[in-house]
Structure 1
């Protein structure tokens, strides 16, 4: 029966997705409570410092600001193009009756019937489409910051936009980029679902270990970055 073949899928796949969700829920609370211990929190502080520096000396650093943002836009565009290409390939495979019905049954542990395999492709396609959506929104915010960062007051008039507003826009762009990356990583793990749910769980554990090493930083480095940021902000107000 199909149930006897799919019990591994019903247990291991939700467990893999739940592990991703719980890790990022914990990471979000960590960023809110102790940002100096996380790479995301330190990067957010560095982004605010960068915006203030670029807007304070706009005449000297306007080209540098535009080039830096252009590189970020190119990176987000590359990832968006990669995800949409994967979506196109999965859609082509899903539309192929032969590919869906003739899986490598001997290498698959779990459900591998035509309906189950079609469901696998549909779920993976939805995940990559979500990543593409996050990347596209990130590109839009980066483009907005690209214009706003060079808007400064002239002839004694107050600035049209404040560095705090531009910093928030830039923060949204990077947060969407990070969200797209994390969804993309989960999609890569789900690609192994074609060959069985066990590989998905093993890949998820490996990816979460790598992400933990990348997300958590030493306390001394984080405190130093935040202290330097507070000192620079204090000097900019003088």
Structure 2
């Protein structure tokens, strides 16, 4: 009897999650091998060129650099706040004495026992906590870039180089992307509350959306940002 209630969860939910995992593995390989064909790789190259331009004309563009980095910090802060608010709401729901599964028992397919409902909320809580951690670390690295990007360049300064600052900025945006993808991964899990069928449907529906967000379809070459696959001898990378 239990198998009849939960077999859809055991089959459809892993398929939906696995499709998202396989897509991101493919995307990571694409970024490693052909960064000029992904928006992530093109943006990574653009940020490296931006750091070089800002530090080369530090006296003229120092205010512009600080304002740009401040806007990036504000975006990560907003998403981090949203993630932790969702965590607080989920924690309050888990600890509540009201059983939210009762109105759903007769309206969804799949298992809806006490353990399964608790597992759904704990999985959501874990995902959004990880998203919050990624956003927080991203803010930390961007804050370091904010301090270092206006350091004067000279023979006596061999540590704070444009390459070093570019690497810090890339770590910040890599963590920001990871936080975004974890945030998106929480959406199918939210749909799991209404049954495993909508989890698979939601996961598969997100794939073409993510593909259009990630793949440049030759726009990197046309835009002229990436005339070569490398900037300063390094392949642009972002996780």
TM exceeding 0.5 = yes
**Relative contact order (C-alpha < 8 Å, sep 6+): which is higher?**
2
Match of 1:68 in 2: 68
8 Å CA contact retained: 1:130, 1:183: yes
Shift of 1:27: 0.3
CA distance in 2, matches of 1:157, 1:229: 32
CA distance in 2, matches of 1:103, 1:135: 35
Match of 2:22 in 1: 22
Match of 2:169 in 1: 170
Deviation string for 1:32-88 (max 9, x for gaps)?
111100000000000000000011111111111111011000000000110111111
CA distance in 1, matches of 2:72, 2:8: 41
Q: Give the root-mean-square deviation of aligned CA atoms.
A: 1.9
CA distance in 2, matches of 1:127, 1:92: 16
Match of 1:141 in 2: 141
Match of 2:2 in 1: 2
- Alignment of 1:91 onto 2:91: yes
Match of 2:200 in 1: 201
8 Å CA contact retained: 2:35, 2:229: no
Paired residues for 1:108-187 under 5 Å: 108-153=108-153, 157-187=156-186
8 Å CA contact retained: 2:36, 2:229: no
CA distance in 2, matches of 1:87, 1:74: 20
Query: Structure 1 segments of 4 or more deviating over 2 A?
Result: 99-103, 156-160, 220-224
| TM-score between the two structures when normalised by the length of structure 2 | 0.91
Deviation string for 1:94-130 (max 9, x for gaps)?
1113234524112211011111111111111111111
| TM-score between the two structures when normalised by the length of structure 1 | 0.92
CA distance in 1, matches of 2:23, 2:51: 30
CA distance in 2, matches of 1:57, 1:64: 11
User: Between Structure 1 and Structure 2, how many residues are aligned?
Assistant: 232
CA distance in 2, matches of 1:14, 1:41: 29
CA distance in 2, matches of 1:99, 1:50: 53
8 Å CA contact retained: 1:48, 1:167: yes
CA distance in 1, matches of 2:172, 2:16: 27
Change (3 A) 1:130 1:220: closer
Change (3 A) 1:123 1:78: same
Match of 2:187 in 1: 188
